[in-house]
């Protein structure tokens, strides 16, 4: 199979993605829909969630992808839970760890383990509106344009180098669910495109500036 850039990619050379998700998993679903094409260059090889009822687990099961639940309640403290997540991820030997709606902050120790190889998708145009309520905060602020961001994860909350962004308009009368749905539609496309490009073309990072391909 030839990629657009002409490099041969087969199933064994596809980048290994481990996806962490807490919710419904529509971003995971988009990655799973893309990964069957060998030309995509990446495959989801494992799914890890902190929520036993996460829809992401059903999606993984239906796609034949192994999954693990690492719930906070099963650990003595946050440090032990972080270690549990790291162990679960490591089992899948990831090239890239993709946080796709993973609603907990991972400790610096986790970030060190997979340094420079953790991607996150955030439903706002960073550096505006970081944190767990990016959609609500943008709406409350009264912005007319918001969007989504795929970025590298560092020790901060949504502060790592930005890889890709897409703008999404806010419509009169939007509430958080309607705006979030519009953002999620753009977010899925951006995540799939960005992860695929990184897998096929590589990623170069100099300080805050990240470039996909050369
Ligand atoms: C996405 O908008 C993600 O950025 C946010 O939560 C949503 C998760 O959606 N943190 P899904 O679980 O992938 O459907």
> Ligand 1: residues whose CB is within 6 Å?
21, 23-27, 100-101, 121-123, 184, 187
Closest atom of ligand 1 to CA, residue 120:
4
Q: Distance (Å, rounded) from C-alpha 184 to C-alpha 186?
A: 5
| Nearest CA owner, ligand 1 atom 9 | 101
Rounded to two decimals, what is the model's pTM?
Answer: 0.93
Among the listed residues 35, 122, 151, 180, the single catalytic one is 122
Q: Around 73, how many Cα atoms within 13 Å sit in the side-chain half-sphere?
A: 3
Per-residue confidence (pLDDT) for residue 205, from 0 to 100: 95
Q: Which residues contact 30 (CB under 8 A, 6 or more apart)?
A: 188, 189, 191, 192
Specify the DSSP class assigned to residue 113. H
Taking CA atoms, 74 is separated from 53, 56, 84, 87, 89, in Å, by 15, 19, 10, 14, 17
Per-residue pLDDT of 38-54, as tens digits, reads 999 999 999 999 999 99
pLDDT range class, residue 13, cuts 50, 70, 90 = confident
φ, ψ of residue 47 to 5 degrees: the values are -130, 135
Q: 7 an active-site residue? A: no
φ, ψ of residue 122 to 5 degrees: the values are -125, 135
Which amino acids are annotated as binding site, given as ranges?
A: 25-27, 78, 120
The average pLDDT across 69-79 equals 96
pLDDT at 7 over 50: no
Contact 135, 179 (CB under 8 A): yes
């Amino acid at each position: 199979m030839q990629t657009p850039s002409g490099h041969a990619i087969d199933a064994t050379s596809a980048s290994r993605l481990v996806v962490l998700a807490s919710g419904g998993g529509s971003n995971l679903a988009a990655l799973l829909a893309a990964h069957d094409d060998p030309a995509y260059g990446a495959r989801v090889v494992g799914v890890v969630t902190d929520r036993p009822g996460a829809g992401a687990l059903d999606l993984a099961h239906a796609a034949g992808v192994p999954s693990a639940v690492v719930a906070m309640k099963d650990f003595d403290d946050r440090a032990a839970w972080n270690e549990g997540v790291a162990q679960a991820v490591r089992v899948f030997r990831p090239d890239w760890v993709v946080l796709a709606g993973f609603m907990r902050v991972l400790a610096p120790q986790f970030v060190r383990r997979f340094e420079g190889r953790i991607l996150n998708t955030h439903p706002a145009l960073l550096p505006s509106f970081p944190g767990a309520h990016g959609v609500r905060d943008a709406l409350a602020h009264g912005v007319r344009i918001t969007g989504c961001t795929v970025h590298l994860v560092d020790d901060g909350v949504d502060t790592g180098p930005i890889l890709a962004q897409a703008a999404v308009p806010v419509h009169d009368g939007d509430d958080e669910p309607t705006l979030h749905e519009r953002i999620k539609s753009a977010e899925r496309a951006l995540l799939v495109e960005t992860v695929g490009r990184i897998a096929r073309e590589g990623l170069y990072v100099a300080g805050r500036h990240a470039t996909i391909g050369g």
